[in-house]
Structure 1
Amino acid sequence: MAQKQGEELLRGGTSSPRATFLELFFDLVFVFALTRVSKRLIDDVTAGGPDLLRQGAQTVVLFLALWIVWSLTAWVTSRYEPERSAIQFVVVASMFGSMVMAVATPRAFAERAVPFVLAYLAVQVGRPLFLTLALRGHPRRTVTSRILLWSVVGAVPWLVGALVPSARAVLWTLALAWDYVGLALGWPLPGRGSVRASGWAVMGEHLVERYQQFFLIALGETILVIGITFSGAAFSAAHASAFALSFLITALLWWIYFHRAGHVLAEAIRAARSPGLLGESASWTHLVIVAGVLLTGVGYELVIAYPYGQTASGWPLFVMGGPALFLAARARFEYEIFGRVSRSRVVGVVLLIGLVPVVWRLPSIGALALSALVLAGIAVADAVRAHGRPLEQPATPL
């Protein structure tokens, strides 16, 4: 009977690959969470000072903590049946914990450290604990139990860091590294090997759809940044131009992502000999893609707020570096699907990085215009190359 109950939680042959309404509801929390990460980055940049790098590194830690919570939840709903009440409880509980983390993010390295950590650990420890109990005697219980063990060990530096401000940054960095090493290596245990996610039986089409939806969440966050920043600025020609350029870049990011490779990702998963391997690789790629979009959104707010201000020393990291990071990850994404990389992606990355010394001599809106010009050139090159040709079939090397 215990075996049967465990089986009921697993994805079956009749499971729909589409995301459920609850999962889309869960994603709404991360629209808010990404705005909190952006707000923290913007505050760091505008404040400037000698602590800029330290503050930026702290924001990266918080973003990666939010990402691993979302990513592992996506793997859970791709591995287990999301229509089951037990899995729905996991999603809702993860949603609440993520919301608390997002609320605490702006001051997570200060007075809100304890709420942030308790929410994070409630998800990271509570989720595998609940699944281990729910699966009972099922063989997959061994996977959730080893994830639980890794999470419990990693909880120690998280908790100590929350209680000891002077060691917080070091301990949280080590704790996050522990969590990511576990994810990357398959939570290895002495004498028992590892269980890499690439070998899991998952609903591959569902998993890749979830990562594409998170990419759209990141684009949605940039739309919020553009709208909120422009609505609070003077309706001058300069601000309006920065607003229009920011929206254009967002549209170009969408076009470049979905052109060819983005459209056939689900088909590539279906054709792959190991859907889990492609899904695991795509998860790391989408982490970098989303980070690039997030950095680009910070650049929008800086330029819309100060369109004719001199480009400050750190601003190219966002205005030029964000799109460059996106393109680099998008090139890897293309390789994952087709086993090749378009020359335009490489040229775009080189141009964006090479133009950094130039943009320091321009007003910030000039830097944004150059970024838009490079991305537009890539989009045009893609359209010309694809004109009159049938949609290319995936040929993943993974």
Structure 2
Amino acid sequence: MTDVDLETGAAHGKRVGWVELYFDLVFVFAVGQVAHSIVADPHWARIAGALGLFATLWWTWIGFAVLYNRRGDDSRPADRLFVLAGTIPCAIAATQVHHVFDGHPTVFVAAMAAVRVLLAAAHRWPVRPGLDQRRISTGYAISAVLFAVSAVVPNGWGIWAFALIQEAGFLLLGGRHRHRGERTTARERRQAMFDGPRDPNLAVDSGHLAERFGLFMILLLGELVITVGTAALERPADDFAYWAAMVGGLVLAGALWWLYFTSAAELSEKMLGLSGGNPALAYSLYAGGHLTPAFALLLIAAGVNLSLHESPPAASAWLLTAGLTVYIAGTRVFSAEPGRWYQRAARIAALVVTVNLAHLGRVLPAPAVVGVVAVWGVGMTAVSTIVRRRAIDSLGDNPLAFLRNRTAPPSGSRSARHG
């Protein structure tokens, strides 16, 4: 059982193991190939396909993250071997990303099916008390069959989506049981999310999960840094526009890092720790909640990459600003307090301005747009740091009261006056 410090909300449990870090390196290679596919064909249809591929890889990674969080031990050879074995089909899938876009997904889906066979075996053996291992193992076996079937069915994206949805259900949401016909209110569901799991063995180690996702986000940010650095190999030393864009790209990467670790990460870890490791809250904050900001980092990396080309396409600025907008919205760094209507309007306006910075590409060269977006990102980071610090201070040791304050109508409003 993980111990939780009620003053800080931090959980003192297991740490991320070296085998997990090695596994993450393989996955970063895979998602890097997804980013490169966007650069190769920067159109919205390709971006939609890239999101589908990324979601497939993301939920595969989630499977191993949750496995090690609940059952893994870096000192047990069996746990290490399952993770190391998983790197092989994942690496094969990474090499096949571009073939999927060319209409040849067979090897990719076969690799995804093989990964799920490993996850089914890892959750079934060795036997551990408490966890419903048979249900999770059976779920992954079903997913393996679905991915295998999609290899021989035309346009199997729908089958992929169904497989991923049912994985989300049994992996982190399966612990919520409700009698047939029983209805619950939003308040009751919120209360249940912070009551902790009924079975302590189903609890998620919040400290480990926060560290695991934090390290993975750093690796995704590394894709942006690599993009900026690699472009230097192909540009002359006296190209001032490139150097300005390189500085802007690195400043933006630093702002995104700051935005996540000083705003989103700390609050998420504290809330999960105070909930007693509730799996449903872990899904909301991490498994599902981190999907869009993680993909946004790939959009930003692709936008910076294209901006550093000799003839940048118009899509480069839109990828950059849309990625930053999705990242800010996905990390929910401005949703800390209920505020009055004009404060909520200001948050929406900030997102609208962020995405529309792409219009600067009509009057400025692409490297200059990168610089402007970097400065804007720094400003958003400064504001969000102040907002999030207030949120963490107001959270205290009662997350339910914190959420009620966020959703309650502001004093002086019509609903408050007539309540």
TM-score, normalized by length of structure 1? 0.79
Structure 1 unmatched runs, 5+? 1-10, 46-51
Match of 1:148 in 2: 137
Residue 381 of structure 1 corresponds to which residue in structure 2?
383
Offset at 1:357?
3.8
Q: Which amino acid in structure 2 is aligned with residue 282 of structure 1?
A: L
Question: Cα distance 1:25–1:339, how it changes in 2: closer, same or farther (>3 A)?
Answer: farther
The alpha-carbon deviation at position 201 of structure 1 amounts to 1.5
Corresponding residue of 2:207 = 205
* 1:255–1:379 contact (8 Å) kept in structure 2: yes
* One-letter amino acid of the counterpart of residue 239, structure 1: Y
1:64 to 55, 58, 61: 55
Shift of 1:256: 1.4
Q: Give a deviation string over 1:92-145, Cα, whole Å, max 9, x none.
A: 122222222112222134476232222211222321233214217x442xx332
Quick one: distance in 2 between partners of 1:17 and 1:213? Answer: 15
Which of 72, 86, 96 pairs up with 1:104? 96
Deviation of 1:303 after TM superposition, in Å, equals: 0.5
Cα displacement (A) at 1:385: 7.2
Counterpart CA distance in 2 for 1:361 and 1:297 is 22
Q: 1:167 to 1:267 in 2, by over 3 A?
A: closer
Identify the residue that residue 410 of structure 2 maps to in structure 1.
none
Equivalent position SS for 2:73: coil
Paired position in structure 2 for 1:330: 331
Cα distance, 1:249 vs structure 2: 0.5
Q: Structure 2 stretches of 5 or more lacking a match?
A: 4-10, 182-191, 404-419
Alignment match, 2:174 = 186
Query: Could you say which residue in structure 2 is the equivalent of 1:368?
Result: 370
Deviation at 1:264, TM superposition (A): 5.2
**Match status 1:23 vs 2:20:** yes
Task: Write the letter of the residue equivalent to 2:356.
Answer: G
The answer (yes or no) to whether the contact 1:319–1:367 under 8 Å persists in 2 is no
Paired with 2:210 and 2:243, the residues of 1 have a C-alpha distance of 36
How big is the shift at 1:245? Answer: 0.9
Task: Work out which of the residue numbers 233, 236, 239 in structure 2 matches 1:234.
Answer: 236
Q: Does residue 222 in structure 1 map to residue 210 in structure 2?
A: no
Q: Tell me by how many angstroms 1:191 deviates.
A: 9.6
C-alpha distance in structure 1 between counterparts of 2:280 and 2:349, whole Å: 29
Maintained 8 Å contact 1:310/1:361: no
Higher relative contact order (CA 8 A, sep 6+): 2
Equivalent residues of 2:292, 2:327 under 8 A apart: yes
Q: 1:152 to 1:266 in 2, by over 3 A?
A: closer
Q: Secondary structure of 2:296's match?
A: helix
In the TM superposition, residue 185 of structure 1 has moved relative to its aligned partner by: 4.8
The Cα of 1:270 is off from its aligned counterpart by 2.9
Summarize the Cα distance change of 1:191–1:160 in structure 2 as closer, same or farther, 3 Å threshold: farther
CA deviation digits over 1:199-225, x for unaligned, max 9?
Answer: 422222111111111111111111111
How big is the alpha-carbon RMSD for the aligned residues of Structure 1 and Structure 2?
3.6
Q: CA separation in 1, counterparts of 2:377 and 2:364? A: 19
Q: Which position in structure 1 is the counterpart of 2:108?
A: 116
Q: How far has the Cα of 1:290 moved from its partner? A: 0.9
Q: How far is 1:190 from its partner?
A: 12
The one-letter amino acid of 1:79's match is R
Structure 2 CA distance, aligned partners of 1:189 and 1:271?
Answer: 21
Matches of 1:44 and 1:311 in 2, distance apart?
10
Contact 2:289 2:330 in 1 (8 A): yes
The amino acid of 1:276's aligned partner reads: P
Tell me the equivalent position of 1:299. 303
What SS is found at the alignment partner of 1:18? coil
Query: Is the 8 Å Cα contact of residues 311 and 363 (structure 1) preserved in structure 2?
Result: no
Structure 1 residue 316, shift from structure 2 partner: 3.7
Counterpart residue identity of residue 82, structure 1: D
The CA deviation at 1:41 is 1.0
Alignment pair present for 1:95 and 2:95: no
Instruction: Report the CA distance shift for 1:266/1:157 in structure 2 as closer, same or farther (over 3 A).
Output: closer
Structure 1 residues 176 and 163: alpha-carbon distance in aligned structure 2, compared to 1, 3 A threshold:
same
Deviation track 1:220-255 (CA, whole Å, cap 9, x = no partner) reads 111111111232233311111111111111011011
What amino acid maps onto 2:350 in structure 1?
G
What is the match of residue 392 of structure 1?
Answer: 393
Q: Provide the C-alpha distance between the structure 2 equivalents of 1:334 and 1:90, rounded to a whole number of angstroms.
A: 40
